[in-house]
Structure 1
C-alpha cells in the first residue's frame, strides 16, 4: 500500500495539513477545498469550485465572522504547514 499523499487546505493565507482527514481526499465530501485557498467558499458555506478562491475582504461582516470561525476551527484541529507568500487577505 502506498502512503497517502499530503493534502493541504488554505485559509486566509495559512496552509493547513488535512492529510489525515478523508473528507478532503479524492472521494471526500470536501475534496473541492483540497489544494486551494477555500477562504471565500468557507465564508459563504459553499461547495462550489468557483468559490474556492482567496478573495474575501469584500464579504459581509457576517461572512467574515463565519470565515474567522472556520480559521479558528482549523487552527485548533490541524497543523500549519506554512503561509502563502504574497497573500494579502490575512
Structure 2
C-alpha cells in the first residue's frame, strides 16, 4: 500500500470504499470477475467485505473511525475509514 510508505507515523488518512458487491449483483450488473475478489466494472476493484478490509488495515494502521454513507439513489452504502499509521 503506497500510502503506508509515504505517511509518517501517527499520520492520518481517509479511505473511501465502494460497497461490497454480492455474487447476485456481479451477475446482474455483468461485472467481470478477473480472479477471486478482483473485479472489472470499467475500473479494476477489490471486492472485499468490510471485515476483510478491517483485517487488512489493522496490520499497519489503527482504525480511528468507520462510517457507512448511504446513497439513496443507488440504494447502497459506501464505506469510509479514518486510519492512523502505527509506529513499528
TM-score, structure 2 normalization: 0.30
Return the structure number with greater relative CO, CA threshold 8 A, min gap 6: 2
Larger Rg: 2
